[in-house]
Chain A
């Protein structure tokens, strides 16, 4: 049944009209409409938070939610005045955890990935298995054990306690390995060696430049991953001045349930925090090699 119906449709289309015309008629408005609906769905909350951030406290609960208000400047002033400028610290902390963390993570990943892909060495098999097991292990369930350990060492609560666990990324190493296998030809490495290049030079002058698109991908994934990881900083940190934006805004909101004045601050803080990341994402989008991920299962 399912096979006959399309077959009949096919002969009909061939008989009556040129296939190209039929295709145009069916294939334009429907898909476009669905895509536009999807885009609308994804944009609505973002538009809402931007509009809501312009509202004065009294307008937030009274005027129509998508009507812009008149309190943007006041809200911004309140936001940056909150807790003696804690918001600014949260931004800096986020830049440290996600920015520096992702940068270090990319470097560590690309080094290990290249070694796994292009050398034979003792313990290689064990390392590869360990990395693969790490990919499947939910990172977030590690947060509590990591806290216990760092607390023993007296490191819990420091910037390092959030930064260091974020640097190791089994998935990043795995992707780097897949990318190194496909992007760095063995002949190029061998040619460099014959020309007398040392191994360090092979890595810095040959491997790194060739792996750059893969590195951008790993960096972005890791950046968003760290920026998204709520539980780790939430568990590790007790000093509000060391919070990243996510934990900071969370505490604002949980206080806000008793103190609705904090809602406007939380809203303008949320609106402001997604702007730079969205901008970066849009900019870096063109350098992404996400086919890496879809190819990862086979590789």
Chain B
């Protein structure tokens, strides 16, 4: 994948270049260096160096040296110890498993609903299009933490409107914040926040499909749903892959939502998701090397998953084109 995306991108750079004047430029210029200097500096300072530092730290650790009563805890090289500790820690595995359950609900529903709404917006005959589009997009403006706060109150037995109704009807409250309902409750927050943005991306790429294609299918007697499923969905394949990638990366990075819900329920522990465990290791246990090793593992994991998804997506897209 590190090879495919860049190759695709390079391909377009190459196609743009031959037509381009820059090649025929006579005098050498400093302009591109000046223009990209701020980005390069910031990239080095806030991406490259922190990553390198985290990798360095992940191989360090506090160990007793000197032995006996005079032994001191000093920072030394510990090889892969932190990685072994991180990977064999059952809490990290359990956190990943919870993430999997959460993601298995959140990602397909976010994408499925986004695609459904986008197709409906694009369909002839639907009413309320402008209103619905704006309303569904609205949660994008609400940050995850505040969205969690809103939904948290909608879940909390004492303020929940849903539980208010069920209490009146059957004298029960819905245990939104207890396992197993906790997972759909958490996923719902992500779905609520994510559907609109993905819908807009898919909708804009649906709008990019030439009208003639749908029109000719319509003349052949295809129904709006047939046009949507057989013609439009395959054509927005690349956008679907992209939105899937965003949703997946978002899932692996989930932190703010469970952390915000934590005060409301005892079902969320300090190690509920991997990032919460990393935070605890780094700041509550002062085990920075372990936290650094877990960060590296999580970042590499995300990278591998997104690369795999992009690969898969590209093959699918190319397969359909040929």
- Asked if A85 CB lies within 8 Å of chain B CBs, one says no
| Least CB separation from A129: chain B residue | B6
Q: Given A28-B126, A34-B120, A293-B201, do A270 and B36 touch, yes or no (CB 8 Å)?
A: no
A64 engages B135 (CB within 8 Å):
no
| Least CB separation from B225: chain A residue | A26
- Asked if A42 CB lies within 8 Å of chain B CBs, one says yes
- Asked if B67 CB lies within 8 Å of chain A CBs, one says no
Interface 9-mer from B77-85, B98-106, B156-164 = B156-164
Contacts of B236 in A (CB 8 A): 294
- Asked if B260 CB lies within 8 Å of chain A CBs, one says yes
Contacts of B288 in A (CB 8 A): 148
Contact of B239 among A22, A127, A297 (CB under 8 A): A297
- Asked if A281 CB lies within 8 Å of chain B CBs, one says yes
B21 engages A190 (CB within 8 Å):
yes
A42 engages B241 (CB within 8 Å):
no
Counted as pairs of residues, one from A and one from B, with CB atoms less than 8 Å apart, the total is 349
In the bound complex, what is the Cα–Cα distance between A268 and B154 (angstroms)? 15
- Asked if B270 CB lies within 8 Å of chain A CBs, one says no
Contact of B36 among A19, A28, A112, A297 (CB under 8 A): A112
Q: By DSSP majority rule, is chain B's interface helix, strand, loop, or mixed?
A: helix
- Asked if B69 CB lies within 8 Å of chain A CBs, one says no
- Asked if B208 CB lies within 8 Å of chain A CBs, one says yes
| Least CB separation from A246: chain B residue | B145
A254 engages B262 (CB within 8 Å):
yes
- Asked if B42 CB lies within 8 Å of chain A CBs, one says yes
- Asked if B263 CB lies within 8 Å of chain A CBs, one says yes
- Asked if B71 CB lies within 8 Å of chain A CBs, one says no
B123 engages A253 (CB within 8 Å):
no
Kindly provide the distance from the CB of B230 to the nearest chain A CB, expressed in whole angstroms. Answer: 9
In the bound complex, what is the Cα–Cα distance between A124 and B35 (angstroms)? 12
B161 engages A224 (CB within 8 Å):
no
- Asked if B13 CB lies within 8 Å of chain A CBs, one says yes
* Range of interface residues on A (Cβ < 8 Å): 35 or more
B238 engages A137 (CB within 8 Å):
no
B50 engages A149 (CB within 8 Å):
yes
- Asked if A36 CB lies within 8 Å of chain B CBs, one says yes
- Asked if B138 CB lies within 8 Å of chain A CBs, one says yes
Kindly provide the distance from the CB of B24 to the nearest chain A CB, expressed in whole angstroms. Answer: 8
- Asked if B32 CB lies within 8 Å of chain A CBs, one says yes
| Least CB separation from B305: chain A residue | A136
Contacts of B5 in A (CB 8 A): 132
What are the interface flags for B208-250 relative to A under an 8 Å C-beta threshold, 1 for contact and 0 otherwise?
1000000000101111101000000000101101100000010
7 tightest Cβ-Cβ pairs between the two chains A and B: A190-B21, A112-B39, A27-B125, A39-B135, A145-B50, A199-B31, A119-B32
B residues bordering A, Cβ < 8 Å?
2, 5-6, 8-10, 12-13, 16-17, 19-25, 29-33, 35-36, 38-40, 42-43, 45-51, 53-54, 57, 113, 116-117, 120-121, 123-129, 131-132, 134-147, 149-154, 158-161, 164, 192, 195-196, 200-202, 204-205, 207-208, 218, 220-224, 226, 236, 238-239, 241-242, 249, 252-253, 255-256, 259-260, 262-264, 275, 278-279, 282-283, 288, 291-292, 295, 298-299, 302-303, 306-307, 313
Other 11 A-B pairs with CB < 8 A, given A141-B298, A274-B141: A44-B154, A49-B153, A131-B43, A138-B299, A142-B50, A144-B282, A144-B292, A230-B145, A270-B149, A293-B242, A296-B242
6 contacts between A and B (CB under 8 A): A35-B136, A45-B139, A109-B39, A250-B256, A263-B159, A282-B134
